Amino acid sequence: MKYTKLQKAGLNISRLGLGTNAVGGHNLYANVNEEEGKQLVEEAIQQGITFFDTADSYGFGRSEELVGEVLKGKRHEFILATKGGIQPLLNGETYINNEPSYLRNAVENSLRRLQTDYVDLYYLHFTNPKTSYIDSIGELTRLKEEGKIRSIGISNVNIEQLKEANQHGHIDVVQSPYNMLERTAEEELLPYCIEAGISFIPYGPLAFGILGGKYTEDFKLNEVDWRQNVNLFEENTYKSNFKKVNKLKGLAKENDIEVSHLALAWLLNKEGIDTVIPGGKRAEQVRGSVKVVDVALNERVMKEIQSILED
């Protein structure tokens, strides 16, 4: 494993982290196996991964509980990131709640579930425009001053929202979709982060499974799968991207790697990207992914990738 430092946050992390939305994420995926989820986290530790990304909305707190169980007794060896701002309602729906009192309570609940007295990185998961960033980010800043969180992140924002949230320079990390098949972040978000010294962490680095190279052309999602709402799985978009993935598979084979490794290495070769956080459901997926930190893509390969993506 290789390690680096998140810029403003100053956190020492592994270049490959682990996204844990499938660890206890019963509300996101069908047939989630909790024991396999814990084994996934344990395997990540064995492979030298020190950065774990979760959220209080993954399994409505269950992901945090399982991650906390595995890291108990050795928590200070790792960097923990979680997110808040999604309030579950009694009718099964959710509400984006950025009110200071709610966020403070959410942080306290996350600390309890994770069995820790601080989190290294806490994100405002989604924005509710009814609450100003002065209030929401202001409350996270107070929690940082109290030592309950060490750095402040924000996710799922556009450039205008990010600039407003960062008006006092309190944003340390941004998390946003970014992968070979979804490159909107290159237009404004990523350049702003580079200029402002904010770390940018891509989520969905494997295009939510599409760049794993295992899906068939007629692949269909389970009805309860949260990815039903992801544009990449819209029928025509998926078919177009499927052709690109097949070409990328050929390029990966020429370089003796898997297409998933190519996709992750491509991100790690990009300016401003310190780490990637692919998810997974099984330990063998982690064992395969760790190879990516040793994959070097030369200028020729990067140009070939660009040609395939722009075709």
Closest CA relative to residue 6, chosen from 74, 62, 80: 80
State both tokens at 200: 């940018």
95-119 as b/e, with b when 16 or more CB fall inside 10 Å? ebbbbbebbbebbeebbebbebebb
Q: Give the up-direction half-sphere exposure of residue 305: CA atoms within 13 A in the CB hemisphere.
A: 23
The answer to whether the predicted template modeling score (pTM) of the entire model surpasses 0.85 is: yes
Catalytic annotation present for 215 = no
The per-residue pLDDT for range 162-198, each reduced to its tens digit, is 999 999 999 999 999 999 999 999 999 999 999 999 9
pLDDT, residue 76, reads 95
What average pLDDT does range 43-53 have in this prediction? Answer: 97
Helices (H), the chain: 34-46, 62-71, 100-114, 133-145, 159-165, 189-196, 235-254, 259-268, 283-289, 299-310
pLDDT, residue 132, reads 97
User: Does residue 96 surpass a pLDDT of 80?
Assistant: yes
State both tokens at 161: 């929202």
Determine which one of 3, 29, 58, 203 is catalytic.
58
Q: Are 281 and 20 in contact (CB under 8 A)?
A: no
If pLDDT is split at 50, 70 and 90, which confidence band does 83 have? very high
pLDDT, residue 221, reads 78
State both tokens at 239: 């078919």
Round to whole Å and give the CA distance between 90 and 99: 19
Instruction: Map tokens 């982690």 to a residue.
Output: 286
Tell me the domains of the chain and their CATH numbers.
3-310 (3.20.20.100)
